[in-house]
Structure 1
Amino acid sequence: MSAFMSAFASLVGSLADLLQPLFQNASTAAAIILFTALVRLAVHPLSRAAARGQKARSRLQPQIAELRKKHGKNPERMQKAIMELHAAEKVSPLSGCLPSLLQMPAFFLLYHLFSSSSIGGEPNALLSHDLLGAPLGGRWHDALAHGGMFGGQGLVYLGIFVIVTAVATFSYSRTKRQMAANPMTPATGPDGQPVPGMGAMTRFMPLLSFFTLITVAVVPLAAALYVVTTTTWTAIERAWLYRDVPAVGGSVATAA
């Protein structure tokens, strides 16, 4: 593990050296943003596949509703019929999870790298790097202890919070419109009855984007930069990949 972390630290350091002429003292922060972009670019094909899968599942909702109505008294037959429909249409119910799951190791690597005082038995030199005076290994509570919310370090976090809030608001609004325009068939349990609490969970889902604010407040600044970069990428990527999905208030609704 230590050898792996040393290699990862060298990668971040090499990216920082590459960007140093452009970003000077902020080159390590820029390297983290570039690393995040490279990770997202690598999983983009999976994101495209997940988008195709979600659109296919949306198109299948009327057929799934018919199957649940037809086999409502036989849950096993109903589940089998739904699985057969997914297989016939080459739709995987789990395809949307893969992009997020494959990004988690990159996030935890950054978290561990900027939370460790030493790497491979040597002092972690990356902890001495900062973004506009805010240490990349520091957290929001550290910034508050050095000048408060509007001190030099606090303003760095304030800027991150503003970006995260703007991205979360955009994602929330878009998700609400799409869910209203494309209501999903309620999930059912083995007995064919609606799963308790799923309705409330569905209504709560759009709010999850705001939980990023909590994440960036408690993780090291380097990991926070990863989070804000990947969530911004996600918002833009989803807006592009789902641009043809009808939304309430959009061109399709207006034409109707």
Structure 2
Amino acid sequence: MDLFALPPLAAILDAASGVLMWLAALLEPLTGSAAAAASVVLITLVVRAALIPTAISQARAEQTRSRLAPRLRELQRRHRNDRERLQRETMKLYADENTSPFAGCLPLLVQAPVLGILYTLFVHPTIAGHPDALLSEELFGVPLGTSLVGAIAAGTATPATFAVFGALIAVIVVVAEITRRAFRVPIDDSADAPPLAGPTAARMIGVLQFATAVFAMFVPLAATLYLTTTVTWSLAQRVVLRRRFPLAVP
């Protein structure tokens, strides 16, 4: 059973496809054959701009967590042998500060459906019962529905495929490295340090910065464009918001 053939999901995909094709028609005089790719980038920018208020909330939450870090460490030291009491006191501390350990997660939750819709639009041959016109769109001769790994496995990868994906993945890697260096997680190697503040966790978080580049090899080119645009936006946004909401000095 194809879940995307169900009326509600089919209607959403059909509407999303219509919006992309409409934007592509508007952009075609400026971008030519890359109009559909440009519409994906534009949609990404619109989504990220709409999420600016939640990004500000996320920055404020990070600032609050950094300010509460010494008190959290004290709670962990005091109640390290009583996990239930530690959890209760931790949640009470967050409640007293009118915040939550999960504050600021909304941008990630909102973006997931957008990426899922883009992925689906460029892998399904039919949308709401009619041929998917987006699959015929290209960027520098590479169909937007092509994935790097899929093209290599099928033996259809061309020099243009490697060039386009290589350029986009290189941007993702460079942005990930800049992000890793600029927003390095402080390491607490004391005996009372929580697991997520230790050196092992810090190394894992550093490695995870590059997970997007690996993911981009498996998704359609349209989704890779989305990922490239959103990680670049995220870096610029974090730089601006970190200056506006600086973290507490340890």
TM range (shorter): 0.7 to 0.9
Whole-Å Cα distance in 1 between the matches of residues 79 and 168 of structure 2?
Answer: 50
User: Share of identical aligned residues, percent?
Assistant: 35
- Distance in 2 of aligned mates of 1:135 and 1:28: 10
Give the letter for the 1:222 counterpart.
A
The one-character-per-residue Cα deviations of 1:123-166 (angstroms, maximum 9, x if unpaired) are 11110000010000011145553464xx1232111111221111
Secondary structure of the equivalent of 1:205? helix
* Residue 161, structure 1, aligned to residue 169, structure 2: yes
The corresponding residue for 1:190 is none
2:13 alignment partner AA? M
Which stretch has the larger CA shift, 238-247 or 1-10?
238-247
Choose the corresponding residue for 1:78, options 78, 86, 107.
86
Partner of 2:6: none
Task: Give yes or no for contact 1:5–1:119 (8 Å, CA) kept in 2.
Answer: yes
Aligned CA distance change for structure 1 residues 5 and 85 (closer, same or farther; 3 Å): same
**Which secondary structure does the structure 2 equivalent of 1:81 belong to?**
helix
Cα pair 1:160 1:228 within 8 Å, conserved:
yes
Give 3-state SS (helix, strand or coil) of 1:116's partner. Answer: coil
Matches within 5 A, 1:138-217: 138-141=146-149, 143-144=151-152, 145-146=155-156, 148=158, 151-176=159-184, 178-180=185-187, 186-187=193-194, 200-217=200-217
Q: 1:119 to 1:17 in 2, by over 3 A?
A: same
Match among 125, 134, 137 for residue 133 of structure 2: 125
**Structure 1 stretches of 5 or more lacking a match?**
188-193
Which runs of at least 4 in structure 1 moved beyond 4 Å after TM superposition? Answer: none
Q: Kindly provide the CA deviation profile for residues 27-62 of structure 1, in whole angstroms up to 9, marking residues without a partner as x.
A: 100000011111111222111101101111111111
TM-score normalised by the chain length of structure 1: 0.84
3-state secondary structure, aligned to 1:95: coil
Q: In structure 2, the residue corresponding to 1:16 is in which secondary structure?
A: helix
Unaligned runs of 5+ in 2: 1-8
Number of residue pairs the alignment of both structures matches: 237
Matched, 1:66 2:74: yes
1:228 corresponds to? 228
